[in-house]
Amino acid sequence: MDLASIIYLSVTVGLFVIFVLIVRNTYKRKNREKKEAPKYRMMDDD
């Protein structure tokens, strides 16, 4: 493999990993907000 190919591959894999981490974090946040939403609604009614 050429040095440029290795650099291109590592940058591509790095960007893919960052994208996966962002999607996973967003999914976990939405799931957590869905579970905690009734608590906040009960607190607002008081």
- Give me the amino acid identity at 17: V
Count of structural domains, the chain: 1
Tokens read off for 29: 């946040």
pTM above 0.85? Answer: no
The answer on pLDDT for 12 being more than 70 is: yes
Q: Is residue 38 part of a domain?
A: yes
Q: Which residue shows structure tokens 């009734």?
A: 38
User: Which structural domain, as residue segments, surrounds residue 41?
Assistant: 19-46
Q: DSSP state, 46?
A: -
Write the pLDDT tens digit of every residue in 21-38.
999 998 888 777 776 656
The answer on pLDDT for 8 being more than 90 is: yes
Q: Is residue 27 part of a domain?
A: yes
Average predicted confidence (pLDDT) for the chain: 83
pLDDT bucket at 1, cuts 50 / 70 / 90: confident
Q: Is residue 40 part of a domain?
A: yes
Tokens read off for 35: 């579970």
Tokens read off for 39: 């608590």
Q: Which pLDDT belongs to residue 2?
A: 95
